[in-house]
Amino acid sequence: MTVTLLLMLFALICVAPGEAAADSLPEVQVVVQLWDSDPDAAVRVAFGHLAAIYFLDRDEPNSIAWHAMLRQSLQNQTPVRFTYAVAGQRITFVEPAG
């Protein structure tokens, strides 16, 4: 009984290989902080109601446009819609929400 319960718990907390590379469902949030002063590092992003720090890779083809949208969200307190890689919190899409 104990072994079965432990195996079930283990199965619930493990991520399947296909899910590790999957994107999240779209989130709509307002940016509350950007750490973007180091041009050699990914931009770190904090959103209002999410506890994690998300990362925008500067070598992402859309990074300049997405960075501008994130900065506008921070400055104007306007929401953005974004997705991220479930493993690693890497931002994979950004657009204005609304």
> Residue ranges per domain, the chain?
22-96
- Residue-by-residue pLDDT tens, the chain, 98 positions: 654 444 444 444 444 444 445 888 899 999 999 999 999 999 999 999 888 999 999 999 999 999 999 999 999 999 999 999 988 899 999 999 97
Give me the pLDDT at residue 13, please.
44
Give me the pLDDT at residue 69, please.
98
Q: Closest by alpha carbon to 82, among 35, 43, 47, 34?
A: 47
Annotation: CATH topology of 22-96: OB fold (Dihydrolipoamide Acetyltransferase, E2P) (2.40.50)
For residue 31, the surrounding DSSP H or E stretch is: strand 31-35
